[in-house]
């Protein structure tokens, strides 16, 4: 018998679902995962070989556990900082270490750190009395948000205070009372109620040697203060804001000396200078990163293990372009497994993750991932939402029409509003008078359900904006540009000279020359800068050609679009047959009447 080869031993303090989901990654990597469990029946216990029960608030229990592992990490942030310092003194590799972890344990410490780094904070203050809270509210405007610096999560420990009266009574008054009697020397955290368009999350991982990587910034949809759904990458996010948010998260990780995975929860704040503000930090794998288990080259749990072992970090790209995560929160159905067959049959693409927890209303008991291309985000949302609803409700769930409505309602005519499906095709024209011709392209795209943006960009009247449009097109997520122009029609070729995307040119006929001037201006490009030219006034074909380009992609969305195009071709053939038949009828009636 050969002895098995096991790698380093990682100890996780806490046996919740985060510890549980580290187990599959540990098995693949061949490292041993041990869990210090709150009891024999917590989520992580069935997933690991060794899970002693112990109280993480007792230093002795932590010491016993740490003695058997190579590195210590966490399922949650509630281990007392002083215990972690004691373990570090003893030589235990605590990752993340207490100096970093306190920023996730204490929101006042976090606010100070964010401020020190010059990263975008909401307005905030430490308040020690109802009077100080009133003063803060009078300064930044009501309502304000009052937080207990420690122990809050999923909406707990967070209170919206509407006015001076509420600041001096009810829950707020109780919190101040409790804070004073706890005698921690600390006040409460007051924050302005940031006007935000949505919540984002920037997740990073850092290892002790310093390497730090970031996943794409995701959109996190909260319901009643609890994460409900995550869309990765965040649809329609301004690439500048995405880059800045990732950089902010990387700077925080580096400056605070984080090891392991960290989530930086953000508000998207259109109109402010940064475009976002830091909401909270979590120094561990996070709900907003669950999509990465199936959707990224490296999932957050594998990455966390690599990071705490100081192993090189893995790729963070979405493996198929996009992913959606939907939480399963407990409701009536107590028997998840009885609902599985229906959920699996309804959504074969759904990836179901179970936490092994008993069902209580509102409790996170699992999640569902769906992975696909950026082109099918709404479909992924429907898949994940539908499967999660069946598991939650015990089957017989009608689906999720609300999401469909949201996708269909996406406005067009400019860049679609944030949170609707991001445009894949940029439809531009040299003059608004070209719209009469170019609208046929828009209609073709709409018929095929392809999101697009439309704009007037004149090569001659606004050359700088035109070049900027072309240069940034691919960065903004566009995958094809359709450009229509007439006369000395330079727009398609000029755009093609600054974008790596395929540019489709539509020669628009003006009053003279029957569009031949436009055609030759567009089609006769020099070698090196191609324009895909369609017929004079052939805007409909430009839209269909854009669809073929998107349908050429090697993913599921591409295949589906190809299918739709084939159906479309079949309809075209049928219409031609009908017309032929009508013509034959006419001709034969004509022949009859001549008889």
Binders in 281-310 for a second copy, by CB under 8 A: 294, 297-298, 306
Establish if 331 lies at the interface with a second copy (CB under 8 A). no
> Minimum CB separation from a second copy for residue 38, in Å?
8
> Minimum CB separation from a second copy for residue 28, in Å?
5
Query: Any idea what DSSP says for residue 513?
Result: G
CB atoms within 10 A of CB 389: 23
DSSP string, 172-238: HHHHHHHHHHHT-S--EEEEE----SEEEEEEEEE-TTS-EEEPPPEEEEEETTEEEEEEESPTT--
Q: Could you say which residues in the range 472-501 bind a second copy, by CB under 8 A?
A: 474, 479-480, 497-498, 500-501
Establish if 449 lies at the interface with a second copy (CB under 8 A). no
Of the two residues 129 and 497, which places its CB atom closer to a second copy in the complex? 497
Of the two residues 102 and 298, which places its CB atom closer to a second copy in the complex? 298
CA–CA dist 295, 549 (Å, integer):
24
Using the rule CB under 8 A, which residue among 504, 508, 518, 521 binds a second copy? 504
199 annotated ligand binder: yes
Of the two residues 21 and 72, which places its CB atom closer to a second copy in the complex? 21
Establish if 565 lies at the interface with a second copy (CB under 8 A). yes
Put the strands of the sheet holding 32-36 in their side by side order. Answer: 32-36, 9-13, 71-74
> Minimum CB separation from a second copy for residue 12, in Å?
14
Establish if 145 lies at the interface with a second copy (CB under 8 A). no
Of the two residues 103 and 207, which places its CB atom closer to a second copy in the complex? 207
Query: Helical H runs in 1-80?
Result: 17-29, 59-66
Establish if 311 lies at the interface with a second copy (CB under 8 A). yes
> Minimum CB separation from a second copy for residue 25, in Å?
8
Q: What angle do CA 324, 325, 329 make, to 5 degrees?
A: 150
431 annotated ligand binder: yes
Among the candidate windows 262-270, 334-342, 392-400, 585-593, which touches a second copy by CB under 8 A?
Answer: 334-342
323, 227 contact by CB (below 8 A):
no
Among the candidate windows 101-109, 257-265, 370-378, 587-595, which touches a second copy by CB under 8 A?
Answer: 370-378
Q: How far is CA 45 from CA 11, 37, 76, 88, 365, in A?
A: 13, 7, 16, 26, 15
CA–CA dist 171, 203 (Å, integer):
33
**How big is the site for a second copy, counted in residues (CB under 8 A)?**
116
Q: How far is CA 311 from CA 250, 261, 440, 584, in A?
A: 18, 13, 54, 75
Of the two residues 101 and 478, which places its CB atom closer to a second copy in the complex? 478
Among the candidate windows 95-103, 135-143, 345-353, 453-461, which touches a second copy by CB under 8 A?
Answer: 345-353
Dihedral Cα 266, 272, 273, 275, nearest 10 deg: 30
Coil, strand or helix at 579: helix
CA–CA dist 144, 126 (Å, integer):
13
147 annotated ligand binder: yes
> Minimum CB separation from a second copy for residue 498, in Å?
8
174, 157 contact by CB (below 8 A):
no
> Minimum CB separation from a second copy for residue 446, in Å?
15
> Minimum CB separation from a second copy for residue 421, in Å?
13
Using the rule CB under 8 A, which residue among 16, 54, 289, 538 binds a second copy? 538
Using the rule CB under 8 A, which residue among 527, 592, 593, 595 binds a second copy? 527
> Minimum CB separation from a second copy for residue 6, in Å?
6
> Minimum CB separation from a second copy for residue 427, in Å?
15
Query: Helical H runs in 281-331?
Result: 292-295, 300-308
Establish if 570 lies at the interface with a second copy (CB under 8 A). no
Of the two residues 256 and 325, which places its CB atom closer to a second copy in the complex? 325
> Minimum CB separation from a second copy for residue 313, in Å?
7
Establish if 75 lies at the interface with a second copy (CB under 8 A). no
DSSP string, 410-430: ---SSSPPTTSPPPSEEEEES
430 sits in the region (left: phi over 0; alpha: psi -120 to 50; else beta) called: alpha
> Minimum CB separation from a second copy for residue 305, in Å?
11
Q: Could you say which residues in the range 384-443 bind a second copy, by CB under 8 A?
A: 440
The enclosing H or E element of 403 equals: helix 401-408
CA–CA dist 514, 516 (Å, integer):
6
Of the two residues 2 and 181, which places its CB atom closer to a second copy in the complex? 2
Using the rule CB under 8 A, which residue among 355, 390, 429, 452 binds a second copy? 355
Q: What angle do CA 307, 35, 290 make, to 5 degrees?
A: 55
> Minimum CB separation from a second copy for residue 514, in Å?
11
Among the candidate windows 143-151, 152-160, 320-328, 404-412, which touches a second copy by CB under 8 A?
Answer: 320-328
CA–CA dist 547, 527 (Å, integer):
25
Beta partners for residue 12, in sequence order: 35, 73
289, 203 contact by CB (below 8 A):
yes
Using the rule CB under 8 A, which residue among 57, 184, 433, 524 binds a second copy? 524
Q: Which residues contact 218 (CB under 8 A, 6 or more apart)?
A: 200, 201, 203, 230, 231, 232, 233, 234, 288, 289, 291
Q: Could you say which residues in the range 3-62 bind a second copy, by CB under 8 A?
A: 3-8, 20-21, 23-25, 27-32, 38-39, 41-43, 45-49
The enclosing H or E element of 481 equals: strand 480-486
Establish if 556 lies at the interface with a second copy (CB under 8 A). yes
Among the candidate windows 105-113, 133-141, 160-168, 312-320, which touches a second copy by CB under 8 A?
Answer: 312-320
The enclosing H or E element of 167 equals: helix 164-167
Task: Say what angle helices 130-140 and 170-182 make with each other, to 10 degrees.
Answer: 130
CA–CA dist 337, 314 (Å, integer):
33
Using the rule CB under 8 A, which residue among 95, 150, 351, 381 binds a second copy? 351
407 annotated ligand binder: no
> Minimum CB separation from a second copy for residue 499, in Å?
8
Of the two residues 143 and 395, which places its CB atom closer to a second copy in the complex? 395
Extract the annotated binding site: 107, 147, 191-194, 199, 279-280, 431, 434, 461
**Binding site listing for substrate:** 431, 434, 461
Which residues contribute to the annotated binding site for ATP? Answer: 107, 147, 191-194, 199, 279-280
């Amino acid at each position: 018998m050969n002895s098995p080869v096991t790698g380093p031993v990682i100890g996780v303090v806490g046996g919740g679902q985060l510890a549980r989901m580290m187990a599959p990654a540990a098995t693949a990597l061949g490292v041993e995962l041990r869990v210090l469990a709150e009891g024999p029946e917590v989520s992580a216990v069935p997933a690991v070989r060794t899970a002693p029960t112990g109280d993480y608030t007792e230093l002795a229990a932590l010491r016993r556990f740490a003695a058997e592992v190579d590195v210590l990490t966490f399922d949650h942030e509630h281990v007392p900082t002083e215990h972690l310092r004691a373990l570090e003194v003893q030589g235990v590799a605590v990752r993340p270490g207490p100096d970093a972890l306190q920023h996730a344990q204490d929101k006042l410490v976090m606010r100070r750190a964010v401020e020190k780094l010059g990263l975008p904070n909401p307005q905030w203050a430490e308040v020690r009395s109802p009077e100080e809270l009133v003063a803060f509210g009078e300064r930044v405007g009501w309502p304000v948000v009052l937080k207990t610096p420690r122990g809050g999560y999923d909406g707990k420990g967070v209170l919206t205070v509407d006015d001076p009266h509420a600041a001096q009574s009810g829950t707020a008054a109780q919190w101040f009372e409790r804070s004073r009697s706890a005698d921690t020397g600390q006040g409460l955290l007051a924050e302005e109620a940031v006007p935000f368009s949505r919540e984002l999350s920037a997740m990073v991982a850092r290892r002790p040697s310093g390497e730090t990587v970031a996943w794409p910034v995701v959109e996190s949809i909260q319901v009643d203060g609890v994460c409900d759904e995550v869309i990765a990458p965040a649809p329609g996010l301004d690439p500048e804001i995405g880059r800045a948010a990732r950089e902010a998260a990387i700077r925080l990780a580096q400056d605070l000396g984080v090891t392991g995975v960290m989530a930086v929860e953000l508000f998207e704040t259109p109109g402010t200078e940064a475009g976002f503000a830091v909401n909270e930090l979590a120094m561990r794998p996070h709900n907003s990163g669950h999509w990465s288990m199936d959707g990224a080259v490296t999932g957050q749990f594998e990455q966390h293990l690599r990071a705490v072992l100081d192993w090189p970090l893995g790729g963070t790209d979405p493996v198929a372009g996009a992913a959606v995560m939907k939480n399963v929160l407990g409701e009536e159905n107590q028997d998840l497994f009885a609902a599985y067959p229906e959920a699996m049959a309804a959504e074969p693409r759904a990836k179901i993750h179970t936490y092994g927890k008993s069902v209580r209303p509102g409790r996170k008991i699992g999640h569902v991932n769906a992975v696909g291309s950026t082109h099918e985000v709404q479909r992924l949302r429907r898949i994940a939402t539908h499967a999660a609803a069946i598991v939650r409700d015990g089957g017989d769930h009608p689906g999720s029409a609300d999401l469909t409505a949201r996708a269909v309602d996406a406005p067009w005519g400019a860049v679609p509003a944030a949170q609707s499906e991001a445009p894949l095709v940029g439809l531009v024209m040299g003059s608004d008078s070209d719209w009469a011709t170019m609208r046929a392209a828009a209609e073709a795209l709409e018929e095929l359900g392809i999101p697009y943006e439309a704009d007037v960009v004149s090569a001659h009247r606004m050359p700088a904006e035109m070049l900027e449009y072309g240069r940034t097109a691919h960065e903004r997520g566009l995958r094809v540009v359709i450009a229509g122009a007439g006369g000395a029609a330079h727009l398609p070729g000029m755009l093609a000279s600054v974008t790596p995307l395929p540019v489709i040119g539509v020669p628009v006929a003006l009053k003279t020359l029957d569009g031949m001037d436009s055609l030759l201006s567009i089609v006769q490009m020099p070698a090196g800068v191609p324009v895909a030219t369609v017929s004079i006034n052939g805007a409909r074909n430009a839209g269909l050609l854009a669809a073929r380009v998107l349908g050429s992609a090697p993913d599921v969305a591409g295949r589906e679009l190809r299918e739709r195009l084939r159906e479309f071709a079949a309809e075209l053939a049928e219409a031609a047959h009908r017309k032929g038949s009508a013509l034959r009828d006419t001709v034969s009636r004509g022949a009859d009447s001549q008889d």
